[in-house]
Amino acid sequence: MKRIAILTSGGDGPGLNACIRAVTRTALKQGAEVFGVRRGYTGLVQNAIFQLESRDVGGILGKGGTILGTARCPEFKDIKVRRTALRHLNQQGIEGLVVVGGNGSLTGAVVLHEMDFPTIGIPASIDNDIDKTDIAVGVDTTLNTILEAVDRIKDTASSHQRAFLVEVMGRNCGYLALQSGLAGGAELILVPEIPGPSLEEIAQEVVDTYVRGKGHCIMLIAEGWQPGTRAVEEYLLSRQGELGFDVRVTVLGYLQRGGRPSVFDRTLGTRMGAAAAEALLSGQSGQMTALKAGQIIFVPLAEAVQQLKPLSRNLLKLVELMD
């Protein structure tokens, strides 16, 4: 294999550039040519493919986001659209593809593999919802971003005797809320995988926190938890006089996706990128890089995208112990 390409797809996050840099330089060192695809699968369909040299990926290791750009491409589910993408790859003489992204992006890689085009996946999702790997690229930086915000919010909450609802990303997976809530000493953590508590029970937790003499009440809420942050806010405000605390809401939003990647994410992206390039050039396909017990291994892409990664039972038990 003499020509490979790399794309970043789906939601962005810290550490993607480390993957791009590692794939590019590893492949170049082995005598292959490397091409970048702009805006993920959309770039494949639009033939936005260009050659990458070593100098093109210099100085990007510490930058957030992705120099290739990213986008969601729901039309890639159409077989005609995928054939157009493969046509563009073949016209450029590209023989293999590294896909960096979350579950949807990696599912696209599975489909290309099933169409006999060699693909290797790298898990990159700040939600840490990709199965078969201990952690995905971008998670560590995002957790530290959230924790810094929680620590700052706790300072002002204590000064004013306030209860804060802090909403973090996690439409289907509550890992960010669970892990940052544990590390941040939150009084309550609400995740989509665990139903409840009721609005009345949440209000009672705020009251109990006040009665215990605490100067603040911090709640971490994953965006996918139902009935949602707004419902909790409205209910607590309707009972404001009983709570003891004033109620405030902070939605961290896209702040969680940006920023300079941590040492861990730069290293993980580099390790996974190098391993992905080596695997692709050696003829492997349909595999995903994964971190298991500190080691980079490969797992079948089809297995990795079968289900979302479940929350750690050990973390859930630890949260209960700290309550």
Q: Which residues are catalytic?
A: 127
User: What is d(CA 92, CA 79) in angstroms, rounded to the nearest whole number?
Assistant: 20
The SS3 of residue 311 is coil
Half-sphere exposure of 176 (CA within 13 A, CB side): 35
Q: How many residues does the chain have?
A: 323
In a 10 Å sphere around its CB, with 0-12 CB exposed, 13-18 middle and 19+ buried, how is residue 213 labelled?
Answer: exposed
Q: DSSP labels for 108-167?
A: HHHHHHHTT--EEEEEB-TT--BTTSS--BTHHHHHHHHHHHHHHHHHHHHHHTEEEEEE
Alpha helices in the chain (DSSP H): 16-29, 41-46, 79-91, 103-114, 139-160, 175-183, 199-211, 229-238, 240-243, 263-281, 301-304, 313-322
DSSP state of 188: E
